[in-house]
Amino acid sequence: MNGRGLVAGVSVFVFLMFMLTSVPVNAAAGSGWETATLIETDNQGSAYNPRVGVDAAGNVIAVWQQYFTVGLNTYVGIWANRYVVGFGWGDAKWIAGTYNVGDGSAYIDLAVSSNGSAMAVWTDGGNVLSSLYQPNSGWRQWGYVENLASWCRAPHVAMDDEGNAVFVWKAGASSVAAMTDVYANWAFGGVVDPTQRVVIDNAASVTTVYADPSDVVVAVGDLRNATVVWSQWSTVTPSGEYNMYANRYHNGIWEGQATVEYQDGVARYPDVAMDKSNNAIAVWCQEVAGNINIYSNVYRTSAAAWYTESQGVDLLENENPGAASHPRVAMDAGGNAITVWDQVRGAVRNVRANQYVKDARWDAANAIDINSYATDSFNPDVAMDAAGDVVVVWSQVLAGTSVYDAWERVFRVGVGWTASDYLEDLRVVGVQSPRVAMNAGGYGMAVWYDTDGFRWNIYANRVVLPDLIAPSLSLTSPTNGLVTTIPVVTVAGTVEANVMLVVNGISVGTSAGAFSVNMALQAGDNTITVRATDAGGNSATETRTVRFNDPIPTLQAQVAQIVSDLATVWSKLNYTNATVGTVWDQLNTTQTSLTALQAQVSALRSQLTTAYAGLNSTQTQVTTALSDIDALQALLDALGDQLDATRTALNTTQNDLSGVQDDLETTQGDVNGKAESSSPMMWAVIAILVSVVAAVALNLVLKKKT
């Protein structure tokens, strides 16, 4: 008989004692819890290790492991069920995986995306397997997450809002050998490639991963961002012990191993959470100076680092020497967080909590007990919605018995903690491993396994936290006290999604959290009231006062004055028109005269042009004549000079002729004296010579004249 069967057999007697009270009951009135419900009915074997997740719409997926026997062999199958808002739980379905329990490798985890998809991961014979759920097609055939020859254990999975899943696990040489490496792989869009698995620890300084299955954990923040935290043996400072390490996936790469704690002492049982800004909080148990306490470190995106050794890690409680264990952490959208754990306090073990405010540090003095009765309480789990509301579940011993019940307690922002109460009231043997998940809107589900006296079964209870917070509302228009002469004003702003928005009694639609509507104004003061109401009945109101100064009466008076002024102007225009007619006639007469004068002026201009042309010609002729006169004067001067010369020459010639005459007379006398004795021939020759001499003398005179 396997261990589960033995426990179930022993449970029969206890079951009979509590049969009369073993019916599901509702949790405390007003807490938001519904009724504990059995979500699987397969009685072949016990079911255990449930995991749960909630999508953005409030739909839930739960998975678990369940025994069944074939012949002499006992196997474990992976089962699932889905809760749909408005319909409830469906039928449990066997989704994958059968393996022999004897290999000791059984482990399961689940992640649910806000988009409704989910990823289950488990081990089978040393391999890591997974199956994807999609709302429109159900569970896919399982597949391998890795292709390692080594032995794999303790897989964990987380999903972002797009449905991308990140797996982490540890691996060693065999099922009995120490685990030596931390591995990771992504399934983008739901597709897993086993060959893409990578080692994310630093093998140079770290040799052995701590063997406990809870010692490798993962969380996601914004899309494709993840943080892994694990416990691992170190050969560097602090050396010779198990320390806490982390690795972040950001911008498509693993950034590398980082040290998370810096103290001497074995560090175990880590948990990690992230917000949408990719801040991360790691918590763990650590034995320091003989005391086992809860510690934390914070990764701040603003500093891009964990708190360093000089800055130190935070102690969440200081209940020494009460040993603390099983820390669990959750974060809201604003980076605030809560950690829960169980811890020995005196004679009993209590469930405790401490809350963290973003950008501050944990304060051990803020640790509180959240279980109400002085009986052992342990194995807590915690979930937190986007607004900071918290749900905690745990197992607690029923006073005076050995029965374990599932308990819950709720923290509401602005209200505080409710009283702790039962999640169920079966009271047979005891609730084991309660788990809780909650979406951003406060829709949650707790799951656990409990016995009916024969076998272990999976139960669930749904919680819907009443919304106690008014929705966000901001007006960008109009400004308060606005004075306008326009009869319409634009009312605009932003508001929380999924609310009913009313402006002065008129329902207004929103788009992507924004709204804009035009409202008519009455003359005088107007009050604009904008009210946003969420599904929980909470409302936020913004009021603006706008004064509308109606311009119409003033405009009417102005128009009347303008009409009167126009009449006066029209009268003046009529008088002016008559005057203009007379002036126009005068202008016409003047125009005729001007036309005649213009013709005369044109004729005179033509005559002047002609005269000017004649003057120019005369000027040219005068200039030419003057030039000719100057030339004639020069010629006359030259002729005068020549005349003077001629006169002189004539005088000279005359003198010469006189001498010639004298000579001729002398010759004449001589001739006469000889004539008487000369022949006629002689006289003829003499006459010729006289003619020649006379001709020569005349020629000389003429040459001198020229």
pLDDT per position as a tens digit, 465-491:
877 778 899 999 999 999 999 999 999
Residue 466 has what pLDDT? 76
Non-local (6+) Cβ contacts of 173 within 8 A are: 150, 151, 180
473-548 belongs to which homologous superfamily? Immunoglobulins (2.60.40.10)
State mean pLDDT over 492-501. 90
CA atoms within 13 A on the CB side of 236: 11
Query: Which has the higher per-residue pLDDT, 592 or 145?
Result: 145
- pTM for the complete prediction? 0.69
250-264, 405-419, 603-617: the lowest-pLDDT one: 603-617
Name the residue among 191, 181, 200, 180 with its Cα closest to residue 250: 200
Cα dihedral sign, 603-607-612-614: positive
Task: Share the mean pLDDT of the chain.
Answer: 84
d(CA 3, CA 47): 13
State mean pLDDT over 215-244. 86
Cβ neighbour number for residue 534 with a 10 Å cutoff: 20
Q: Give the tens place of pLDDT for each residue, 651-677.
A: 777 777 677 667 767 766 665 565 455
Residue 658 has what pLDDT? 73
pLDDT confidence bin for 2, thresholds 50/70/90: very low
16-25, 151-160, 226-235, 681-690: the lowest-pLDDT one: 16-25
Q: What are phi and psi of 212, to 5 degrees?
A: -70, 135
d(CA 281, CA 296): 7
pLDDT reading at 508 higher than 50 = yes
364 within 8 A of 381, measured Cβ to Cβ: no
Q: What are phi and psi of 594, to 5 degrees?
A: -60, -35
Query: Which has the higher per-residue pLDDT, 478 or 374?
Result: 478
Tokens of residue 555, six digits: 């405009």
Residue 602 has what pLDDT? 85
Q: What are phi and psi of 692, to 5 degrees?
A: -65, -45
DSSP secondary structure letters along 112-172: E-TTS-EEEEEEETTEEEEEEEETTTEEPPPEES---SSEEEEEEEEE-TT--EEEEEEEE
pLDDT reading at 19 higher than 50 = no
Residue 31 has what pLDDT? 47
Q: Give the tens place of pLDDT for each residue, 435-457.
A: 999 999 899 999 999 988 788 99
Q: Give the tens place of pLDDT for each residue, 671-682.
A: 556 545 545 565
d(CA 496, CA 479): 21
pLDDT confidence bin for 5, thresholds 50/70/90: very low
Cα dihedral sign, 221-62-200-188: negative
pLDDT reading at 320 higher than 70 = yes
d(CA 278, CA 572): 83
Non-local (6+) Cβ contacts of 402 within 8 A are: 14, 429, 430
pLDDT confidence bin for 412, thresholds 50/70/90: very high
pLDDT reading at 104 higher than 50 = no
Residue 438 has what pLDDT? 96
Q: Give the tens place of pLDDT for each residue, 82-101.
A: 999 999 999 999 997 666 55
pLDDT reading at 701 higher than 60 = no
Query: Which has the higher per-residue pLDDT, 39 or 632?
Result: 39
273 within 8 A of 219, measured Cβ to Cβ: yes
Residue 28 has what pLDDT? 37
pLDDT confidence bin for 14, thresholds 50/70/90: very low
Residue 273 has what pLDDT? 98
SS3 613: helix
